[in-house]
Copies of this chain bind each other. A is one copy, B any other.
Amino acid sequence: MSAGTLFLLPTPLADDTAVEILPAATLATARRVDLFLAENAKSARAFLKSVGHPRPLQELEVVEIGHRPDRAAIDGWLQPVHAGRDAAIVSEAGCPGVADPGAEIVAHAHRLGLPVVPLVGPSSILLALMGSGLNGQAFRFVGYLPQDGAGLVVRLRELEQASRKAETQVWIETPYRNDRMLAAVLATCAPDTLLTLATDLTGTGASVHTRTVAAWQRLSPAATARHRRPTVFALLATARHQDRTGGRIST
């Protein structure tokens, strides 16, 4: 018997948008597969209901892999695929394996020689980069930054410095810490460094704004607040200030 296929199945970023925001080919696979390796079983079932899976939900097999999949369990999860059954990895929102769990399972599928097929869908990181107007020929996604204040300042200075080589730096934050993150960037980076905030992408009230740090500073707190709304941050400093760190000229 030939092996099944392991699909990477993106899910929507915003509520009630699955049918609008996922391509027909992705929706067709979501409705055909009956074995799902899900970051969260409950949200995966809600997603499968929202795309109108033709089978009763209780007949679908949804295996919860969690935020940090147990490596010892991966071989067992892939056994059905090895035996010929198709399966799909789904994360809570967006693209599995990109700032979301799934990569370890895909890596093991490659070691087993199983076919792997990534499907098209929304990625807040990619959408933020597209909408930023910052350099998309060279960019870096660095995940989450340190939570402690001093560590965060050091990391922001590193990212700003790295971006002076025309490499856009992209990161995410836990939504309830967005405003604290913005304040830290505005207090740390050079006035002419470009900063993008991409919020609620694909949702009602989605926005992408790129401004210099100086321009962000001039806005009122009400205009910049992103409290609890999913936001991607991106930064690109101008190349000409190779002699600056943190907005101060080194003299």
B103 touches A134 (CB 8 A): yes
B143 touches A141 (CB 8 A): no
A132 touches B120 (CB 8 A): no
Size band of the interface chain A makes with B: 35 or more
Q: Within the complex, what minimum Cβ distance (angstroms) separates A78 from chain B?
A: 12
Find the residue from A129, A130, A208 having the highest chain B CB count within 10 A. Answer: A130
Q: Within the complex, what minimum Cβ distance (angstroms) separates A30 from chain B?
A: 13
B201 touches A135 (CB 8 A): no
State whether the Cβ of A239 lies closer than 8 Å to any Cβ in chain B.
no
A105 neighbours in B (Cβ, 8 Å) = 133
State whether the Cβ of A55 lies closer than 8 Å to any Cβ in chain B.
no
Cα–Cα distance between A130 and B100 once the two chains are bound (Å): 10
A137 touches B132 (CB 8 A): no
State whether the Cβ of A21 lies closer than 8 Å to any Cβ in chain B.
yes
Contact with A130, one of B23, B95, B136 (Cβ below 8 angstroms): B95
A46 neighbours in B (Cβ, 8 Å) = none
A206 touches B117 (CB 8 A): yes
State whether the Cβ of A244 lies closer than 8 Å to any Cβ in chain B.
no
A133 touches B103 (CB 8 A): yes
State whether the Cβ of A188 lies closer than 8 Å to any Cβ in chain B.
no
Q: List 18 other contacts, CB 8 Å, given A19-B24, A98-B136, A110-B209.
A: A17-B25, A97-B129, A97-B136, A98-B129, A99-B136, A100-B136, A102-B136, A103-B136, A106-B132, A106-B210, A107-B194, A109-B133, A117-B208, A118-B127, A118-B128, A118-B131, A120-B202, A138-B142
Show 17 residue pairs from A and B whose CB-CB distance is below 8 angstroms, ordered by the A residue.
A8-B131, A19-B24, A21-B25, A21-B120, A22-B23, A98-B136, A100-B136, A107-B133, A109-B133, A110-B211, A116-B131, A116-B208, A118-B128, A120-B120, A126-B126, A138-B141, A140-B140
Q: 6 tightest CB-CB pairs across the interface, nearest first?
A: A106-B133, A107-B133, A118-B131, A118-B130, A98-B136, A110-B210
Q: Which residues of A contact B (CB under 8 A)?
A: 8, 17, 19-25, 95-100, 102-110, 116-118, 120-123, 125-143, 167, 194, 201-202, 206, 208-211
